[in-house]
Amino acid sequence: MSKLARNIPIARPTLGEGEVSAARRAILSGWITQGPEVDAFEKEFAEFVGAPHACAVSNCTTALHLALHALGVGPGDEVITVSHSYIATANAVRYCGARPVFVDIDPRTFNIDPDLIEQAITPRTRVILPVHQIGLPCDLHSILSIAGRHGLRVVEDAACAIGSQIQTAGNWGRIGQPHGTVACFSFHPRKVLTTGDGGMITTRDPNLDRMFRLLRQHGMSVPDTVRHSAKAVIFEEYPLVGFNYRMTDIQAAVGRAQLERLPGMIERRVELAHRYSDALSEIPGLTIPWIPNGRRTNFQSYAVRVGPAFPMSRDELMQALLERGISTRRGIMNSHQEPAYAEYSAARLPCSVAARDQVILLPLYDSLEEDDQRYVIDSLHELATGPHRGGK
Ligand SMILES: Cc1ncc(COP(=O)(O)O)c(C=O)c1O
């Protein structure tokens, strides 16, 4: 194939006849929002991650908002999190009227550096909100022990981490059991499992789960599923101010079909990621992902750091790859560098800033053809042998 004929996207959701017939089933059932398909998806999701409770919502941003709100986070409170995440993480804290307190990342994992958490704790801290960035579990055990010492709750931003695992006392467990108080997932098309848009909140606490269910549907005391099957007239009440964060049955039906594919999708991503790592590890100036012992990533994204020893800058590399028909993305953003967070612009988060500026995400999706991946790898090797920046 000629170089110009290539058009390799950064990501592509895996959707097929299974999802089409699931959506059709929901549409023709006559019940298309927060009904039986949502119930079934919640049960199957809970079973997959090993959680006692799973509550479906409209996306992961609303999941994070509900989680923090249900834990009582409000004005005057602080939530310790990272700037180095999609802006939704920090925004969810802001929705509660609380203040995100940004801690820097470990440059090797792109996740919150547990060694920096304790110095950020104040009497106003209520929650630690770590992110399992691009699918790699953060150092949950260290975070949980800090939270335990200070009486704080841990809300896991697991937007990208469905199917990722951590080891506890020798046993592997999926993210979302959850290990903290609550875990929040995203089903956006850039994630491994997609429902178009969608989210899930898991917890071990039945009272919190009840609160999520109330809050996701306007605070309505009797769910539609109960009213519709009741033999006597029931009137609902609205004991508190809730939100409309419902998931539709069409999305849930698609999610159920995606769950069936999930183990295979993750296996394929891991295989492709290892192929990248084997082929790129020797290129001077490129740093391949580092997976610490006791953690397994679903490789939601494949991130490579472009260091000074590489002949071109990260941005030049992205452009050169684009000219060869290969789409890439820059690394994860930092909220504190965005205008919406201007009051944080002086924050000292050097590892977050370096990660945003140096990291490139390579194409990774389970239908990525081996020939296309070989082309990406060969292109990186060719560009690595070019003249060094500044002609040196
Ligand atoms: C780490 C992280 N948190 C939260 C979100 C928000 O997820 P959603 O788009 O489902 O609201 C994303 C989405 O990209 C994310 O990557």
Establish if 7 belongs to a structural domain: no
Q: Provide the domain limits for residue 200.
A: 17-259
- Here the CATH number for the domain that contains residue 33 is 3.40.640.10
Whether 245 and 283 map to the same domain: the answer is no
Whether residue 237 lies inside any domain: the answer is yes
Do 255 and 267 have their domain in common?
Answer: no
Bridge partners of 167?
Answer: 172
Q: Which residues line ligand 1 at a C-beta cut-off of 6 Å?
A: 59-61, 85-86, 88-89, 131, 157, 159-160, 186, 188, 199
Whether residues 56 and 136 fall in one domain: yes
Residue 6: inside a domain, yes or no?
no
What's the confidence (pLDDT) of residue 252?
98
Answer yes or no: do 67 and 29 share one domain. Answer: yes
For residue 391, what pLDDT is reported? 47
Number of domains in the chain: 2
Distance CA 9, CA 21 (A): 26
Closest residue by CA, ligand 1 atom 7: 60
Residues 313, 360, single domain; the answer is: yes
Q: Give the pLDDT confidence score for residue 4 in this predicted structure.
A: 57
CATH number at residue 335: 3.90.1150.10
Our mutation pick for probing the ligand 1 site, out of 58, 105, 160, 245, counting the most ligand atoms within 8 A of Cβ, is 160
Q: 17 Cβ partners below 8 Å, 6+ apart? A: none
Asked if residue 220 and residue 311 are part of one domain, the reply reads: no
Q: Does residue 107 lie within any of the structural domains?
A: yes
Last residue of a domain, one of 212, 230, 259: 259
* Cα gap 213→230, rounded to integer Å: 19
Residues 289 and 316 in one domain: yes
What does each of the 392 residues of the chain score in pLDDT, given as a tens digit? 455 579 999 999 999 999 999 999 999 999 999 999 999 999 999 999 999 999 999 999 999 999 999 999 999 999 999 999 999 999 999 999 999 999 999 999 999 999 999 999 999 999 999 999 999 999 999 999 999 999 999 999 999 999 999 999 999 999 999 999 999 999 999 999 999 999 999 999 999 999 999 999 999 998 888 888 889 999 999 999 999 999 999 999 999 999 999 999 999 999 999 999 999 999 999 999 999 999 999 999 999 999 999 999 999 999 999 999 999 999 999 999 999 999 999 999 999 999 999 999 999 999 999 999 999 999 999 999 977 665 44
Cα 380–382–385 angle (5° rounding)? 105
Tokens representing residue 2 in the block: 């000629």
Residues 247 and 294 in one domain: no
Instruction: Kindly state whether residues 209 and 189 are assigned to the same domain.
Output: yes
Its pTM stands at: 0.97
* Residues 195, 267 within the same domain: no
Based on the number of CB atoms within 10 Å of its own CB, is 3 exposed (0-12), middle (13-18) or buried (19 or more)? exposed
Q: Which residues contact 148 (CB under 8 A, 6 or more apart)?
A: none
Is there a single domain that holds both residue 109 and residue 133?
Answer: yes
Among residues 233, 259, 285, the one where a domain terminates is 259
The pLDDT value recorded for residue 52 is: 98
Catalytic positions, please? 191
Are residues 241 and 281 part of one domain? no
